[in-house]
Structure 1
Amino acid sequence: MSRLTRGLMGLTLSTLPALAFSADNVELPNTLAMTAYGTGSAGYSQMVSIGNLLQNEYGTSVRILPGENDVSRMTPLKTGRVPLCACGIASYYGSEGVLMFADENWGPQPIRVITTSIASFGLGVAVAGDIGVESPEDLRGKRVSWIRGDDALNLGTEAFLAFGGLTWDDVEKVEFPGYGRAFEGIVSDQTDTGFTMSVAPPPQQLAASPRGIVWPKLDPADKEGWARLQKVAPYFQPHTVTSAAGDYGKDKPWVGASYPYPILVANASTDDALAKSLIRVFIEDYDKYKDAAPGNAGYSLDNQNMQWVIPFHDAVVEYYKEIGHWTDEMQAHQDRLVERQRILKETWDSYTASNPPSDEDAFGKGWMAARAKALEAAGMNPVFR
């Protein structure tokens, strides 16, 4: 028996008293397995609460395999050992075949969204509160952290700079070996910024330090700024953040940015009945689980971004059509994303069949070049190069 199988068999969620009035037309298996972030994460807690609901309402036992990193969370989905992953933004990187997925063992994955959560927190560049920064353009000439080996954090910082019309050439890049070390560097006045989640411990520590903290405003009315930001990192979206380190809250929100977390994804080939049943439960049983774990309110229908960067599962689209929550514009966007996945898969198959370099770095560079060329030929933004 594999370690994965033992882990899945060994983790059974607790149950709560049964609730009435379940969603109709739900067809779920007796046992449902998924991967998620570690046991102390918000994503894991949320999936536990959903598991309690499925157990009590539908008799489905949910087993969660916690993964310590993106690869460990997504490998079981890739191999078909689990049908679902409560992932982070790495699900987007996987669908694009970039960063850690620009590897001969990965490539672009046929990932489809079931649902996502947008909660009260945000994601962005935290800035020391003693240097007079109010918006991204004020970062010109300031010390900006760059984390070795962390493409996602650096890309997020680059996107925020782009909002202000800046690049890395317009700031003083300060390199750090890790995320936590960068925030230590802000407190000790070695740098001025760090990319993070607005409620994470490091920005809380910065807020309590003598330097204080500020979250630069990203005006949603600044269409040109947002266009520049999303050209670098299209998964960001405007968000009024009511949970953030520092002097921020419901009465004084940070007008900033976020992207979904967790992102509940499946493969395109995942059973239609499972996908449709899950989205039905998330939407129609919302009142039963919305207060069961921090962040669950983010799964409401109103919080779903219907034109994001990963296509929905076909059965999810079918459900939204049935309830009248689907437009021609959404369908056109969905079609473009599905076509993008098709182009990426065909390009990957062609590239890997062309006797590419065996060296890891050379393989990745060759793939990224082929990928960009194919997307540009189709009139699509490669985003990653």
Structure 2
Amino acid sequence: MVGSIIKRASIALAGTAIMTSAAVAQVKLPATLTMTAYDTGTSGFNITVAIGKMVKDKYGTDMRVLPAGNDVARLQPIRTGRAAMAGMGAGVYFAQEGVFEFATKEWGPQAVQITLSTVDCNGLSLAVAGDAGVKTVADLRGKRVGFVVGSPALNQNAMAVLAFADLSPKDVKIVEFASNNAMWKGIINNDVDAVFGSTITGAGKELETSPRGITWPPLPHGDKAGWDRVKRVGPFFTQHTATCGAGISKDKTVQMGAYPYPIYTVYAHQPEADVYMITKAMIDGYDGYKDNAPGALGMAVKLQTKNWSVPLHKGAVKALKEAGAWSDDQEKHNNELYKRQQVLQTAWADFIKTETPSDPTKFTDEWMKARKAALSKASLLDTF
């Protein structure tokens, strides 16, 4: 299945020149470029649009940004070759692992790899309406928490924050929405009390200036037990102090969590030369977009998150090496992540050769058992 997808996928950067010299290449991009991102107004969308303007101004390439409400919709255009890259969140990790919405016959574990990403002054956590009377995560017990249908990343992230106070979805009232934007509109309209997102998302500012107001219950970094619970649900979270965003400033900081977002994602089969060129374009053109969207400053090559949960594409590694932002430790870690992806890809290929259940729920259950066995045999960690 994976092989057939790769064979028929048209590469969106097909016009990129192949390098013939060991010397550092000049950036050459096709006339048009397509990326996917979170909904319009989100920080991920805004950063991607800023990059698109830089690409047009500096390289003459027209970049189209496709907003999408969930992780499946963000990845599908890349999977089918209709887009070159996706501005993902934690969903890229779930796609790699083949869990949640990707634990289906149509998907399975994806050989997704990453390029550049950003962690800036913003944080990622549960935003709570100011009139909900919530000061700590524990105060969310019994409150309405937003989930997005088809977006395991957002939902799992919300659960990771709840886990800080040893809360689960059973301890709150889950309210489902069709998209991320619909969820944020829901909190402004008093249909829900808490939603997961970035402190710098445009919708956060709308909530802050609405009659409800906004607050971010802290996740104190000194609470080891709380953070151990967060990590069990969201192993990709790191401790981070937010100093910017709705209701937050350098004088009013909040200890919470973060992970890279947006994470510019490609597939492993995309040519190294193509991924190298677009990564290099984002590195060389940094000054042209860093001040044009909140959070874009974190795209600086020296600020890239090291040793995360999804491997970097070889094309991105080449660009980072040229920029002096790669180490032997990162090389070792990245190679280990390549091996993890291979274990998952092999496990999936073996699984779909068997007589799998036709019932979607049973199919997922059987796949998760096969996945767990494969990771265990390879002595690899499984947090699901």
TM range (shorter): 0.7 to 0.9
Unmatched runs of 5 consecutive residues or more in structure 2: 1-11, 13-22
CA contact (8 A) 2:306 2:330 kept: yes
* SS of match in other structure, 2:172: strand
| 2: CA distance, partners of 1:30 / 1:186 | 41
Query: What is the Cα deviation at residue 342 of structure 1?
Result: 0.7
**Residue 4 of structure 1 corresponds to which residue in structure 2?**
none
Letter in 2 for 1:195: F
State how 1:148-159 maps to structure 2 within 5 Å. Answer: 149=149, 151-159=152-160
CA contact (8 A) 1:148 1:175 kept: no
Query: What is the Cα deviation at residue 291 of structure 1?
Result: 1.8
Stretch deviating more after TM superposition (80-89 or 205-214):
205-214
CA contact (8 A) 2:148 2:183 kept: no
| 2: CA distance, partners of 1:109 / 1:360 | 18
Letter in 2 for 1:334: N
CA contact (8 A) 1:312 1:334 kept: yes
| 1: CA distance, partners of 2:274 / 2:368 | 34
Residue 290 (structure 2) pairs with residue 290 (structure 1): yes
Unmatched runs of 5 consecutive residues or more in structure 1: 1-7, 9-22
State how 1:227-376 maps to structure 2 within 5 Å. Answer: 227-246=228-247, 248-376=248-376
Task: Output one character per residue of 1:188-221: Cα deviation in whole Å (capped at 9) or x when no partner.
Answer: 6x97644333345765566567775432222345
**Residue 172 of structure 1 corresponds to which residue in structure 2?**
171
* SS of match in other structure, 1:177: strand
| 1: CA distance, partners of 2:146 / 2:294 | 31
**Residue 25 of structure 1 corresponds to which residue in structure 2?**
25
CA contact (8 A) 2:55 2:62 kept: yes
| 1: CA distance, partners of 2:365 / 2:232 | 21
**Residue 3 of structure 1 corresponds to which residue in structure 2?**
none
Query: What is the Cα deviation at residue 299 of structure 1?
Result: 0.6
Task: Output one character per residue of 1:268-290: Cα deviation in whole Å (capped at 9) or x when no partner.
Answer: 12222222223223223322321
Query: What is the Cα deviation at residue 223 of structure 1?
Result: 4.8
Stretch deviating more after TM superposition (345-354 or 67-76):
67-76
| 2: CA distance, partners of 1:157 / 1:69 | 15
Query: What is the Cα deviation at residue 120 of structure 1?
Result: 3.4
**Residue 81 of structure 1 corresponds to which residue in structure 2?**
82
CA contact (8 A) 1:114 1:316 kept: yes
Q: 1:132 to 1:233 in 2, by over 3 A?
A: same
Letter in 2 for 1:366: E
CA contact (8 A) 1:238 1:258 kept: yes
Task: Output one character per residue of 1:328-368: Cα deviation in whole Å (capped at 9) or x when no partner.
Answer: 33223212211111111011001100110112221112112
| 2: CA distance, partners of 1:28 / 1:181 | 39
| 1: CA distance, partners of 2:201 / 2:63 | 28
CA contact (8 A) 1:272 1:315 kept: yes
| 2: CA distance, partners of 1:87 / 1:299 | 14
Give me the TM-score of the superposition, normalised by structure 1. 0.79
Could you say what the CA RMSD is over the residues aligned between the two structures, in angstroms?
3.3
| 2: CA distance, partners of 1:104 / 1:306 | 33
Residue 72 (structure 2) pairs with residue 71 (structure 1): yes
Q: 1:142 to 1:128 in 2, by over 3 A?
A: farther
| 2: CA distance, partners of 1:148 / 1:65 | 19
Q: 1:181 to 1:279 in 2, by over 3 A?
A: closer
CA contact (8 A) 2:236 2:308 kept: yes
Stretch deviating more after TM superposition (304-313 or 46-55):
46-55
**Residue 11 of structure 1 corresponds to which residue in structure 2?**
none
Q: 1:140 to 1:344 in 2, by over 3 A?
A: same
Aligned-pair identity (%): 34
CA contact (8 A) 2:41 2:201 kept: no
Task: Output one character per residue of 1:33-55: Cα deviation in whole Å (capped at 9) or x when no partner.
Answer: 22323555443443333233333
**Residue 126 of structure 1 corresponds to which residue in structure 2?**
127
Give me the TM-score of the superposition, normalised by structure 2. 0.79
* SS of match in other structure, 1:336: helix
Letter in 2 for 1:251: D
Q: 1:106 to 1:322 in 2, by over 3 A?
A: same
Query: What is the Cα deviation at residue 182 of structure 1?
Result: 9.0
Query: What is the Cα deviation at residue 129 of structure 1?
Result: 5.2
Task: Output one character per residue of 1:303-344: Cα deviation in whole Å (capped at 9) or x when no partner.
Answer: 311111111011222333344432333223212211111111
**Residue 92 of structure 1 corresponds to which residue in structure 2?**
93
Q: 1:187 to 1:34 in 2, by over 3 A?
A: closer
CA contact (8 A) 2:188 2:210 kept: no
* SS of match in other structure, 1:311: coil
Letter in 1 for 2:300: S
CA contact (8 A) 2:130 2:214 kept: yes
Task: Output one character per residue of 1:116-148: Cα deviation in whole Å (capped at 9) or x when no partner.
Answer: 122433221234557876554x44855463648
Query: What is the Cα deviation at residue 72 of structure 1?
Result: 2.9
Q: 1:128 to 1:86 in 2, by over 3 A?
A: closer
